[in-house]
Structure 1
Amino acid sequence: MYNSDTTSWQEVLAAFKRIWGYDDFRPPQGEIIRSLLEKHDALIVMPTGGGKSICFQLPALLQNGLTLVISPLVALMENQVQELRDRKLPAALLHSELPTWERKKNLQNLEKLRLLYLSPETLLSAPVWEKLCQPQLEINGLILDEAHCLVQWGETFRPAYRRLGAVRPALLKSKPAGTKIAIAAFTATADPKARATIQKVLQLQKPAAFQISPYRQNLHLKVQTIWTPRGRRQGMLKFIQARPHEAGLVYVRTRRDSEELTELLRQKGYATAAYHAGLSPEERRQIEASWLGGKMPFVVCTCAFGMGINKPDVRWVIHYHSPLLLSEYVQEVGRAGRDGKPAEALTLVSEATGWLNPEDKQRREFFAGKMRSQYQEAQAIASKLPTQGEVATVAKQFRDGAIALSLLHSAGQLEWQSPFHYIRHQSGKSCSFGELNAQQQQFQTQMTQYLTTRECRWQFLLQAFGFAKEAAGWRCGHCDNCN
């Protein structure tokens, strides 16, 4: 096992070669691995396909004790754990869809594992938390994979994310004196504000920062204006017809959209499937296997598909509807061209006024209205909450109680005393729910600006994600505005 005083870097490289078959790391993999082995906190922003998982898997395998990997999606956990198990490595996962016997077995075997994958909600469930707090269980690291989910989902969709900063102090209270638990957050997309949020929520301590530009020279970006719903369908069909047998993805925003579009494509003779969060685990795995194995050239999917799934030869991505956030867009187009060969990303958008085709405008207004109502409901709940209490009690008392607590935390009006207990306060740095809503509106406006810009699209993305120096005077030569 690794000890920075006694284990040489050659031994780390030898383990890398033995497990994955590579002779050396790609920059900055080596620096990240060294940082985690030395128990430093870290915040890593690397493009999709940049080899992030190896950066935390190898340190975990080289150390005694358990590394917890917090992951947002079951499919993502299953893919990574299966790859590790295929290499006969000590990894397991816990999620609500596992059979009871398998959950029990994995919990009983924690001392034998090096990597345990689980969601924020599973991490904070009573039986799992109780087991992790046992003094004899050595925990050396906490990894937040796909850390942008903390920013995108933590306020109103997956409020458990906002409680993760209280995990390390709570675990350390149950461990022997001198125990160190490093925290590292990994993502492909985080602008400066998102990075600051991740660092603050996770309570990262002087984190080593690794930020790699999202620019991908082989990825051609295009936005196409369509004038009618029929024109949208035709635009998609024309694009797909011109690329027979190539692997691709069609992203839509809702479950209903995925099912309706899949039916249309099947009628046109395409072998495809709708993928969304409402499918059973068996259905999801079957679709993933068909796509990964080449039996199904493309999938019509919501944002639930593709995160962490390793298919290098995806040649194209269509956004049938544009995402609401730029970070989602970069994540999703990043599924294409991971092998370094040319790939294309097409986004279909209604004409800007919305007079001829109000579809996109209505969609934006629907989500903005939904967000406003969530903030209003949270405000109403917040006025009824005691100044301190327990998450479980609030969640039982109010339907959206956990979301209200999450929003209060985001507004700086609440602190977590533990992952399960809160205390309210009014500090000079707090903001209102109205201000939070305005910030979300700004993120959506940024997406609209990207879709309508006449400038180089890659230049816009570089500036948006904090790479202004690299973006200065930039023209990529492979987006629709530069060609």
Structure 2
Amino acid sequence: MNPSATASWNEVRAAFQKIWGYEDFRPPQGEIIQSLLAKKDALIIMPTGGGKSICFQLPALLQQGLTLVVSPLVALMENQVQELRERRIPAALLHSELPSDKRRITLQALERQQLRLLYLSPETLLSKPVWERLCQPELVINGLILDEAHCLTQWGDTFRPAYRRLGAVRPALLKSKPLGTNIALAAFTATADPLAQTQIREILQLQEPAVFRINPYRSNINPSIRIVWTPRGRKQQFLKFLSDKAQQTGLVYVRTRRDSEELAKWLLELGYVTAAYHAGLGAEERRDIEAQWLSGKMPFVICTCAFGMGINKSDVRWVVHFHPPLLISEYVQEIGRAGRDRKPAQALMLISEPTGWLDPQDKQRQKFFEENLQQQQLDAQQVLKKLPRTGEVNAVAREFRDGAIALSLLHSTGQLKWLDPFHYSIVPGAKTKSVTQLHATKQMNQYLTTRDCRWRFLLSAFGFEEEIKNWRCGHCDNCCRK
């Protein structure tokens, strides 16, 4: 490899060995690091546990200035920053739950240019106190990283509308910096199908990005689906699954906070050591549950999608989806938390019987999601009729209920563009695009009912058609049945 402008490749490897203790990079870590050191944009799709974080953390340390890491969850930020600080790397985080004294210390360190990595959510990045400091001309910013970039397509339209404005961040920052400043932009994720990849590139305005794609197949993870006929039957199937796993580490995924609390309460009454984990818990409580699970004191956790991103435990032997997730990308992310030690691991999903007559829960959850999405689209079109041609995001959010979500949906349908992260312009006469999440839920339904190899279906869904011609995994439930 050619030396970068910042450091020779020998220096890059020496820093990697000294800080992380590994002998050499796994493919394609070295190529990704070289690309970021050369200040090129990149889109990186690597399986969960593939060492994505090192790919942007190491370039941040080898360059002068600050790298911003936009991350979706507080727990994920806390875990990564704690690991970096243990390695004596100048890193910090900012989020809404941070006590005011810690927030003040971090903002001071930012102003004094004492940080190499700053983790923050999209909402915190675009908050006034943070944005004003980032726009100071003397503050050197060398990179903008979007971690867990699938969240942009999963949540950006209707749940976390600030994600939709991230493409306007780099141009706005560059206007405040000296002429000739270059800020590299890279998006990292474990799961993005071809449509999601296109969306990420377009929304972030990536410029001729280097693209690194590794398929998510894991030969040691054995996916299976079981039909349950009643709510009681779902619980019984789960208990049957648990019966021979007393000493094994696992994760149980449910759809909502309420589901996690109710299931955890029931299992605790039966004598199991577990806990409910969701985004509504305080930071200290989340940390305590994570610590108990990581240490083995708590064999499994009942969790929503808030658990797992950035939490690395190698010996997870099983993952159960007590309810099916809405999106395949979520599913692959979550089963990918099992078997990182490359030993066999089970991935079981429990689903309601197809008619929904005896157990309508799964159908009701999906119907609620789809109806809610359609209603939000209708609401956005009503808001559009009342909007001035150009305007300010916060003003719309104050005037209209779910105004920020309406703007996000209008951006996703091509009816609106961002002038900067805080101001929009209506696109007159734009042909509306369809919102892609409805397509994604149909894809999940197809996965639940397919008789084809499960892994073959997943690889095809993520665009790895060439790699799976005349191929089957041989270890999913469908392959084993055949």
TM-score under structure 2 length normalisation = 0.97
Find out whether 1:349 has 2:351 as its counterpart: yes
Contact 2:109 2:115 survives alignment (8 Å):
yes
Q: Secondary structure at the match of 1:470?
A: helix
Q: Secondary structure at the match of 1:239?
A: helix
* 2:313 matched residue in structure 1: 311
Correspondences of 1:87-102 after superposition (within 5 Å): 87-102=87-102
Q: Secondary structure at the match of 2:424?
A: strand
Contact 2:77 2:93 survives alignment (8 Å):
yes
Once residues 271 and 350 of structure 2 are traced to their aligned partners in structure 1, the CA distance between those partners, rounded to angstroms, is 22
**Which AA in structure 2 matches 1:467?**
F
Residue 441 of structure 1 and its aligned partner are, at CA, apart by: 2.2
Once residues 385 and 5 of structure 1 are traced to their aligned partners in structure 2, the CA distance between those partners, rounded to angstroms, is 48
* 2:256 matched residue in structure 1: 254
* 1:51 matched residue in structure 2: 51
Offset from partner CA, 1:94-144 (integer Å, 9 cap, x none): 011111111111111120110000000000000000000001100000000
Q: Secondary structure at the match of 2:444?
A: helix
Q: Which runs of 5+ in 1 are unaligned?
A: none
Find out whether 1:152 has 2:149 as its counterpart: no
Label 1:61 to 1:354 Cα distance change in 2 as closer, same or farther (>3 A).
same
Q: Which runs of 5+ in 2 are unaligned?
A: none
Residue 259 of structure 1 and its aligned partner are, at CA, apart by: 0.8
* 2:32 matched residue in structure 1: 32
Residue 7 of structure 1 and its aligned partner are, at CA, apart by: 2.7
Once residues 382 and 283 of structure 1 are traced to their aligned partners in structure 2, the CA distance between those partners, rounded to angstroms, is 42
Q: Secondary structure at the match of 1:383?
A: helix
Find out whether 1:198 has 2:200 as its counterpart: yes
* 2:391 matched residue in structure 1: 389
Correspondences of 1:39-118 after superposition (within 5 Å): 39-110=39-110, 111-118=113-120
Label 1:353 to 1:22 Cα distance change in 2 as closer, same or farther (>3 A).
same
Contact 1:249 1:301 survives alignment (8 Å):
yes
Residue 282 of structure 1 and its aligned partner are, at CA, apart by: 1.3
**Which AA in structure 2 matches 1:457?**
R
**Which AA in structure 1 matches 2:16?**
F
Once residues 182 and 350 of structure 2 are traced to their aligned partners in structure 1, the CA distance between those partners, rounded to angstroms, is 49
Residue 355 of structure 1 and its aligned partner are, at CA, apart by: 2.0
Correspondences of 1:212-291 after superposition (within 5 Å): 212-291=214-293
Q: Secondary structure at the match of 2:55?
A: helix
Contact 2:154 2:437 survives alignment (8 Å):
no
Correspondences of 1:428-443 after superposition (within 5 Å): 428=430, 430-431=431-432, 435-436=434-435, 439-443=436-440
Once residues 257 and 422 of structure 2 are traced to their aligned partners in structure 1, the CA distance between those partners, rounded to angstroms, is 33
Mean Cα displacement is larger for which, 288-297 or 182-191?
288-297
Contact 1:48 1:335 survives alignment (8 Å):
yes
Once residues 92 and 64 of structure 2 are traced to their aligned partners in structure 1, the CA distance between those partners, rounded to angstroms, is 16
Q: Secondary structure at the match of 2:152?
A: helix
**Which AA in structure 2 matches 1:478?**
H
**Which AA in structure 1 matches 2:454?**
R
Contact 2:228 2:351 survives alignment (8 Å):
yes
**Which AA in structure 2 matches 1:106?**
T
**Which AA in structure 2 matches 1:472?**
K
TM-score under structure 1 length normalisation = 0.97
Residue 360 of structure 1 and its aligned partner are, at CA, apart by: 1.2
**Which AA in structure 2 matches 1:420?**
F
Residue 356 of structure 1 and its aligned partner are, at CA, apart by: 2.3
Label 1:39 to 1:6 Cα distance change in 2 as closer, same or farther (>3 A).
closer
* 1:301 matched residue in structure 2: 303
CA RMSD in angstroms comes to 1.2
* 1:456 matched residue in structure 2: 453
Once residues 195 and 429 of structure 2 are traced to their aligned partners in structure 1, the CA distance between those partners, rounded to angstroms, is 21
Query: Which of 189, 194, 201 is equivalent to 2:191?
Result: 189
Residue 3 of structure 1 and its aligned partner are, at CA, apart by: 7.7
**Which AA in structure 2 matches 1:84?**
L
**Which AA in structure 2 matches 1:199?**
R
Residue 249 of structure 1 and its aligned partner are, at CA, apart by: 0.5
Q: Secondary structure at the match of 1:356?
A: coil
**Which AA in structure 1 matches 2:456?**
Q
Offset from partner CA, 1:196-230 (integer Å, 9 cap, x none): 00000000000000000010001000000111111
* 2:467 matched residue in structure 1: 470
**Which AA in structure 2 matches 1:70?**
V
Find out whether 1:416 has 2:383 as its counterpart: no
Label 1:112 to 1:373 Cα distance change in 2 as closer, same or farther (>3 A).
same
Q: Secondary structure at the match of 1:318?
A: strand
Offset from partner CA, 1:393-416 (integer Å, 9 cap, x none): 101111211011101110111111
Q: Secondary structure at the match of 2:59?
A: helix
Offset from partner CA, 1:396-446 (integer Å, 9 cap, x none): 111211011101110111111110011001355x315xx32xx33221111
Correspondences of 1:392-411 after superposition (within 5 Å): 392-411=394-413
Q: Secondary structure at the match of 1:109?
A: helix
Corresponding pairs, count: 477
Contact 1:412 1:427 survives alignment (8 Å):
no
Contact 2:5 2:37 survives alignment (8 Å):
no
**Which AA in structure 1 matches 2:41?**
D
Label 1:391 to 1:47 Cα distance change in 2 as closer, same or farther (>3 A).
same
Contact 1:255 1:276 survives alignment (8 Å):
yes
Offset from partner CA, 1:35-63 (integer Å, 9 cap, x none): 00000000000000000000000000000
Residue 5 of structure 1 and its aligned partner are, at CA, apart by: 4.0
Offset from partner CA, 1:226-265 (integer Å, 9 cap, x none): 1111110011111112211211000000111111100111
**Which AA in structure 1 matches 2:333?**
Q
* 2:126 matched residue in structure 1: 124
Q: Secondary structure at the match of 1:344?
A: strand
Residue 368 of structure 1 and its aligned partner are, at CA, apart by: 1.4
Offset from partner CA, 1:321-347 (integer Å, 9 cap, x none): 000111111011111111111111000
Residue 8 of structure 1 and its aligned partner are, at CA, apart by: 1.6
Offset from partner CA, 1:359-403 (integer Å, 9 cap, x none): 211221121122122112222112111110000110111121101
